Amino acid sequence: MSFDAALELSDATHPAPVRPAPASVVIPALNAAARLPAALEALAAGSLAGLLREAIVVDGGSRDETAAIADAFGARVLHAPPGRGGQLKTGAAAARGAWLLFLHADTVLEPGWLDEAAAFMRNGEDRAAVFTLAFDARGLAPRMVAAGAMARTRLLKSPYGDQGLLIPRRLYDAIGGFSDMPLFEDVDIIARLIRHGGRGALHVFKARAVTAADRYERDGYAARVLRNLWLRAQYHAGVSPQKLAKRYR
């Protein structure tokens, strides 16, 4: 079921749905035709429940059918220069929801995300939340990398964008939103979130965000982890995200 069809069904079965904190989903995409349908399909339950009012896909100049697929699913399609931070910023500026759910185009939220997200939003707390990371690959290596990422998330409050981000619009605006950065825009916004509200400003959902393991499968899990750590160290040392983005690919 497409996101748009789910929204229409929600309107038909619940003519006046109660949406105390309706959410907009913002998805930056670039040549994501192979992965985007699954990401959008997983969000349909949120429409049916009256939780999600819109999905916004911000295309960074795809040469495949990304924009057409997003449109077919009923998502609003915006266009922006390539660069995840700028695309997220563009989508957030156009979003109409009181809550914002940022999600990568190659990440699928597993069943169970809706109940946790709805409960979190009903509480109306002035904090954000991310999901538990998992990879769409089998074996010990992807499980170990995901476990390491979750240890970093819980202990250091330092998740990556692959884990999604659910945040009230008022808090998003208060911390300045996403910066127009081609890399580490996720590290940047979480750092500002923690400075603003302390370690308690970030909640971790049990529901999993299953993301593509393509780069790890291509480069090798150990090599990719080491590369990511080295890039992050360089970022904290002051190397520009523009330079680091060229090395990330």
49-74 confidence digits (pLDDT tens): 999 999 999 999 999 999 999 999 99
Q: Share the mean pLDDT of the chain.
A: 91
> What's the confidence (pLDDT) of residue 16?
43
C-alpha 205/C-alpha 130 separation (Å) is 6
C-alpha 97/C-alpha 144 separation (Å) is 36
pLDDT in tens, 160-181: 999 999 999 999 999 999 999 9
C-alpha 208/C-alpha 131 separation (Å) is 6
Average pLDDT over residues 188-212: 96
C-alpha 194/C-alpha 189 separation (Å) is 9
174 within domain boundaries? yes
Kindly tell me if the per-residue pLDDT of 15 is higher than 50: no
What is the CATH number for 43? 3.90.550.10
C-alpha 23/C-alpha 201 separation (Å) is 19
E strands of the chain, at which residues? 23-29, 52-59, 76-79, 99-102, 107-109, 128-135, 165-168, 202-211
Per the structure block, which two tokens stand in for 134? Answer: 């998992």
Q: Which residue has the tokens 């982890």?
A: 225
pLDDT in tens, 107-150: 999 999 999 999 999 987 789 999 999 999 999 999 999 999 99
> What's the confidence (pLDDT) of residue 243?
87
73 within domain boundaries? yes
Q: Kind of pairing, strands 99-102 and 165-168?
A: antiparallel
Residue 95 phi, psi dihedral angles, 5° rounding: -70, 145
- Is the distance from CB of 28 to CB of 88 less than 8 angstroms? yes
221 within domain boundaries? no
Q: Which residue range forms the structural domain that includes residue 205?
A: 3-211
138 within domain boundaries? yes
C-alpha 107/C-alpha 165 separation (Å) is 12
180 within domain boundaries? yes
Amino acid making up residue 210: V
> What's the confidence (pLDDT) of residue 6?
60
> What's the confidence (pLDDT) of residue 25?
98
**Sign of torsion over alpha carbons 108, 243, 185, 56:** negative
100 within domain boundaries? yes
196 within domain boundaries? yes
**CA 74 remoteness from chain centre:** 19
pLDDT in tens, 82-114: 999 999 999 999 999 999 999 999 999 999 999
The pTM assigned to this predicted structure is: 0.91
Count of domains for the chain: 1
Backbone torsion region of residue 105, taken as left when φ is above 0, otherwise alpha when ψ lies between -120 and 50, otherwise beta: alpha
pLDDT in tens, 16-32: 444 444 899 999 999 99
- Is the distance from CB of 133 to CB of 153 less than 8 angstroms? yes
118 within domain boundaries? yes
